[in-house]
Amino acid sequence: MNFLHHTRYPMPANPFSTIRETVDVTPEVAGEVKTTTCYMCACRCGIRVHLRAGQVRYIDGNPDHPVNRGVLCAKGAAGIMNHTSPARLTKPLLRVGERGEGRFREIEWDEALDIAAGWLGETRRRDPRGLAFFTGRDQSQSLTGWWAAQYGTPNFAAHGGFCSVNIAAGGLYTVGGSFWEFGEPDFERTRYFLMFGVAEDHDSNPLKIGLGMLKSRGNARFVSVNPVRTGYSAIADEWIAIRPGTDGLLVMALIHELLRADRFDGDYLVRYTNAPWLVIDDPGAPDDGLIARDADGDPLCFDHASGALAKANGIDISPALAGARALGDGRRAVPAFELIARRYLDAAFSPDSVAERCGVPADTIRRLAAEIAAAAFESEVTVEQPWTDWAGRRHERFIGRPVSMHAMRGISAHSNGFHTTRALHLLQALLGSIDVPGGWRFRPPFPRPIPPAPKPAGPASVPGASLGGMPLGFPTGPEDLLVEADGTARRIDQAYGWEYPLAAHGLMHVMLRNAWAGDPYKVDVVFMYMANMAWNSSMAIADTIGYLTDRDETGQYRIPRIIYSDAFWSETVPYADLVLPDTTYLERWDAISLLDRPISHADGAGDAIRQPVVAPDRDVRPFQDVLIELGVRLALPGLTREDGAPRYPGGYPDYLANHERAPGVGPLAGWRGDGTAQGRGPANPDQLQRYIDNGCYWTGELAPEARFMKHANRAWLDHAHAMGWSPSTDPVVFQLYSETLQKFRLAARGHGSKLPPEAHRERVETYFDPLPFWYPPFEEDAIEATDFPLHAVTQRPMHMYHSWGGQNAWLRQITSENRLHVHPRTAAGLGLADDDWVRIQSHHGEVVGQVRLMSGVNPDTVWTWNAIGKRRGAWALDSDAPEATRGFLLNHAIADLLPARGGLRYANADPVTGQAAWYDLRVRLEKLGAEEAMEAARALAAFETGPTAPKGPLAHGKEIADRPSGRPAVEFSEWLSQRDGAPSRRGDGRRGHRP
């Protein structure tokens, strides 16, 4: 650099003099550091927030934190710009205009809570089902779900039905854990890592750390199976450009090859899975396809050693994996493994048969299978640690098959995702690579028993009563479904109905349509939190806006009341009748709880908190505090004492420290009782301070002998039971063949006391196959491929998270407009070039966008970044912001319902779990002129931002020095002293019994 010409160094009198700059290399940019947990995506990294004069100055990663070990991504560092965003809500709002106009009157909290409690109380007295309480990317679901149960509505769910329930349920029903949050690849030891799809904001920093470890070790292969080569796929050793929705078929072809070559771990199958369990073969009988059991209810196998039937859970037996056996009562049965082998050895799953459909050459599939087998069986890794199995047998070491896997979206967001996930776990089990060194490992508190628990709780029969359990759960058979006598679903989203029986995360994407249609019944109040349902958390956006604004013949809105809580002025705020402004994540308490989705890693359990590092400088309140306050006003049983006094007068932190879900089990596992208990123990008034002192997280490392083979490891099983994570110390046997699914299939065949209505029987029979199977994504099957020849998917930018990122002054500079990425060969066929505008049209709708050519995409697929496109007038962005003029949201083209068949219209969702199938989208492209395109892009009217709407935008960093970033937080000790005796730390005088 030529210093003499730098504007900071004016020309001195003597041009030859040496200018010496005094640089303060250790400026005091911050005087105080507070730890907390990031909330800029789902990853839950530990952060350090640097403050000066009580203001947030910058954020960095906490080097001690078990999740990220100091790593911070772009989103995490840019948290300060969310925290200071001009789009923040500042005061409770009451609608004064029409829904969608965005005209509100600012009101005081007292009035807001009175209104909300009035609406909610009236509904609860009449019929608690009249409340549909749905949250979005809420990290406090153990509170929000429990609150719904106290209120008495079954109509509760969060974001999972839109996001990942296929992955979660597919794993939990098969191996008792799942990819992403409940499991992890053993990056330290793996030799072969297969990644299927991925959402870059899920497990983001752990994956980056792991891939870095794997790459720098140099002796492991990383294969990425993804239609798009972005993010992690860009550094893979091999990229498999699969056609969307065919991952299951590829996995089954790999299984075919392994079986054909006799390359599977028979010992592992016999010891840890239900592969040798005998399955009754009695077509037409009510127990056909169920597991043959003895008088004690224990599963049977055929024991080669004794030449007779034996308890499959016995020890010192030699179970058969093939061969039909007589059960002694005229029935016959075959081992589950024989059914597995018969199915996948079929020529339909040969590499040659699936290659074209998958877009992967047959030779590549064969080579992948051979490489996987070689890694598993010829590069065995061991951990020299003696351990004892569930039956008391001592083993000298842990032996590993070092093939590991990870999967998330796209698999999760296809209508065949549940079965694809099960197929992946079957592949892992065949390789013997689950919870072994170098394989894919469980994160505590997983694995848990299969089928999972608890069961979903149904609506209370008495108005004003609470539910008997939690609204979300896991059916173990048709008897657990929430259906009326005629088979009609009892939940507003039809979860746990015959339409979507294992909808373990609910169907928030169905809720608004059903609430509008009164199907299966009308609701009075829709209460949403952090769920941008009028934009990127919905499919069929125009229809969704219609559900929110449509009126009945009397002129009343069909959805009578909408309460919405969010921290920001999103696209959904204008559709609410009452807006309860939330704080940012730096201004509140939170728990990343073992009761929900903790921060565990394979070697130990972990949970964490958020603490308010600054106090809000606006008239906003943490949603969790508001929920507890509403519970008190409604006199909900868990939230009030017998005399009506609040049970948690200190609000959410009080709840975190003192609530017990079961005796001795609370939201936080660390420092219970006198501070020495972990997992179980009495409440500890000092618990939150102990978390703060420890960097806002707790970890409980497992004993070395409990770290692998958890499903069958005596040390783990005893530990999990003692900690309250498992109801028993029994081993977890992987359910490769699912008797639970077969029970539903039998109901569809007319067996049992709870039968599906005739109209649903074929669907249940087909999709409740006890073995994983592949079927084309529903949309693909319903349209003419020639009309809509391209798959269309989204990818999550690493630097954006849902709608939050696109309003962030720093992150917007990375991406403020998205393009539709098209393979050059495909583009040439359509006469498209870079920057051309196209109409992206599906069978349902359309949206326009600009093209960018990219060779790193499957030629039959187009893709774009998610969550960039914004509606004009929202998020305090300028009305000409590129997000609103050039950015686009693919959701406009995605249908929320499948085309009608036989008079029935199901949701565009997986038929087992109800997972939204937004990756099934098929489109065609039509080239547009720029003018025509710009006009179409502006088709959706901008919000008229009234006086209560925030104004922006915040320029890049410029205004941050002037913009207050909060007030100093109340210290924990101060909070604690206020809690004793003071009815409310806010002094609003409204706590207490207010039904």
Binding flag, residue 802, ligand SF4 (CB under 6 A): no
Write out the H or E segment, with its range, that includes residue 517. Answer: helix 508-517
Dihedral of alpha carbons 199, 203, 209, 213, sign? negative
Looking at the Cβ atoms of 411 and 592, the one nearer to ligand SF4 is 592
Binding flag, residue 609, ligand SF4 (CB under 6 A): no
Judge contact between 946 and 101, C-beta under 8 A: yes
Binding flag, residue 422, ligand SF4 (CB under 6 A): no
CB within 8 Å of 18: residues ≥ 6 apart: none
CB of 89 to ligand SF4, least distance (A): 22
CB of 605 to ligand SF4, least distance (A): 19
Tokens of 55: 């203001």
- Interface region with ligand SF4, contact rule CB under 6 A, candidates 73-81, 346-354, 920-928, 985-993: 73-81
Binding flag, residue 45, ligand SF4 (CB under 6 A): yes
For residues 897 and 507, what is the distance between their CA atoms, to the nearest angstrom? 13
Cα–Cα distances (Å) from 934 to 194, 444, 557, 888, 961, in that order, read 42, 51, 33, 11, 37
- Interface region with ligand SF4, contact rule CB under 6 A, candidates 37-45, 225-233, 390-398, 513-521: 37-45
Tokens of 213: 């470890």
Looking at the Cβ atoms of 35 and 841, the one nearer to ligand SF4 is 35
Looking at the Cβ atoms of 46 and 276, the one nearer to ligand SF4 is 46
Residue holding tokens 């073969």? 281
Binding flag, residue 81, ligand SF4 (CB under 6 A): no
Looking at the Cβ atoms of 37 and 428, the one nearer to ligand SF4 is 37
For residues 438-477, b (16+ Cβ closer than 10 Å) or e, as one string? bbbbbbbbbbbbbbbeebbbbbbeeebebbeebbbbbbbb
Judge contact between 474 and 504, C-beta under 8 A: yes
Binding flag, residue 38, ligand SF4 (CB under 6 A): yes
CB within 8 Å of 260: residues ≥ 6 apart: 345
Binding flag, residue 636, ligand SF4 (CB under 6 A): no
Among 670, 526, 655, which Cα is nearest to 588's?
Answer: 655
Looking at the Cβ atoms of 44 and 422, the one nearer to ligand SF4 is 44
CA 127 remoteness from chain centre:
30
- Outline where 684-726 has alpha helix (H): 687-693, 714-722
For residues 897 and 327, what is the distance between their CA atoms, to the nearest angstrom? 46
Binding flag, residue 75, ligand SF4 (CB under 6 A): yes
Candidate list 51, 56, 73, 259; residue touching ligand SF4; CB under 6 A: 73
SS3 state at 47: strand
> How many residues are recorded in the chain?
995
CB within 8 Å of 350: residues ≥ 6 apart: 253, 256, 362
Looking at the Cβ atoms of 45 and 507, the one nearer to ligand SF4 is 45
- Interface region with ligand SF4, contact rule CB under 6 A, candidates 72-80, 91-99, 243-251, 356-364: 72-80
Looking at the Cβ atoms of 301 and 868, the one nearer to ligand SF4 is 868
Q: What is the x/- site pattern for ligand SF4, positions 157-196, by CB under 6 A?
A: ----------------------------------------
For residues 701 and 693, what is the distance between their CA atoms, to the nearest angstrom? 18
Among 414, 291, 181, 208, which Cα is nearest to 915's?
Answer: 414
CB of 608 to ligand SF4, least distance (A): 11
Binding flag, residue 36, ligand SF4 (CB under 6 A): no
Candidate list 34, 35, 41, 291; residue touching ligand SF4; CB under 6 A: 41
Looking at the Cβ atoms of 41 and 411, the one nearer to ligand SF4 is 41
Binding flag, residue 211, ligand SF4 (CB under 6 A): no
Looking at the Cβ atoms of 451 and 806, the one nearer to ligand SF4 is 806
Q: Radius of gyration over alpha carbons of the chain, in Å? A: 28
For residues 42 and 273, what is the distance between their CA atoms, to the nearest angstrom? 32
Task: Centre a 10 Å sphere on the Cβ of residue 830 and count the other Cβ atoms it contains.
Answer: 17
CB of 600 to ligand SF4, least distance (A): 15
- Interface region with ligand SF4, contact rule CB under 6 A, candidates 35-43, 103-111, 240-248, 774-782: 35-43
Candidate list 34, 35, 36, 44; residue touching ligand SF4; CB under 6 A: 44
Binding flag, residue 204, ligand SF4 (CB under 6 A): yes
CB of 934 to ligand SF4, least distance (A): 33
Looking at the Cβ atoms of 68 and 123, the one nearer to ligand SF4 is 68
Looking at the Cβ atoms of 49 and 424, the one nearer to ligand SF4 is 49
For residues 174 and 985, what is the distance between their CA atoms, to the nearest angstrom? 47
CB of 530 to ligand SF4, least distance (A): 16
What is the footprint of ligand SF4 within residues 676-695 (CB under 6 A)?
Answer: none
For residues 985 and 650, what is the distance between their CA atoms, to the nearest angstrom? 7
CB of 100 to ligand SF4, least distance (A): 31
For residues 603-631, b (16+ Cβ closer than 10 Å) or e, as one string? bbbbbbbbbbbbebbbebbbbbbbbbbbb
Binding flag, residue 252, ligand SF4 (CB under 6 A): no
For residues 391 and 544, what is the distance between their CA atoms, to the nearest angstrom? 55
Binding flag, residue 43, ligand SF4 (CB under 6 A): yes
Looking at the Cβ atoms of 811 and 847, the one nearer to ligand SF4 is 811
Candidate list 139, 205, 584, 866; residue touching ligand SF4; CB under 6 A: 205
Angle, alpha carbons 157-162-168 (nearest 5°): 80
Across the beta sheet with 104-106, the strand order is 104-106, 93-95, 578-581, 561-566, 525-529, 131-135, 156-157
Judge contact between 436 and 709, C-beta under 8 A: yes
CB of 800 to ligand SF4, least distance (A): 10
Candidate list 36, 48, 55, 76; residue touching ligand SF4; CB under 6 A: 76
For residues 643 and 637, what is the distance between their CA atoms, to the nearest angstrom? 11
CB of 8 to ligand SF4, least distance (A): 33
CB of 647 to ligand SF4, least distance (A): 32
Binding flag, residue 40, ligand SF4 (CB under 6 A): yes
- Interface region with ligand SF4, contact rule CB under 6 A, candidates 65-73, 173-181, 262-270, 977-985: 65-73
Looking at the Cβ atoms of 43 and 339, the one nearer to ligand SF4 is 43
Residue holding tokens 């004690």? 296
Looking at the Cβ atoms of 201 and 435, the one nearer to ligand SF4 is 201
Binding flag, residue 72, ligand SF4 (CB under 6 A): yes
CB within 8 Å of 989: residues ≥ 6 apart: none
Q: How many CA atoms lie within 13 A of 717 on its CB side?
A: 19
CB of 836 to ligand SF4, least distance (A): 34
Chain residue whose CB lies nearest ligand SF4:
76
For residues 456 and 270, what is the distance between their CA atoms, to the nearest angstrom? 32
Binding flag, residue 805, ligand SF4 (CB under 6 A): no
CB of 68 to ligand SF4, least distance (A): 6
Looking at the Cβ atoms of 707 and 796, the one nearer to ligand SF4 is 796
Number of residues located near ligand SF4, criterion CB under 6 A: 13
Candidate list 35, 36, 68, 144; residue touching ligand SF4; CB under 6 A: 68
User: Which residues are near ligand SF4 by CB under 6 A?
Assistant: 38, 40-41, 43-45, 68, 72-73, 75-76, 204-205
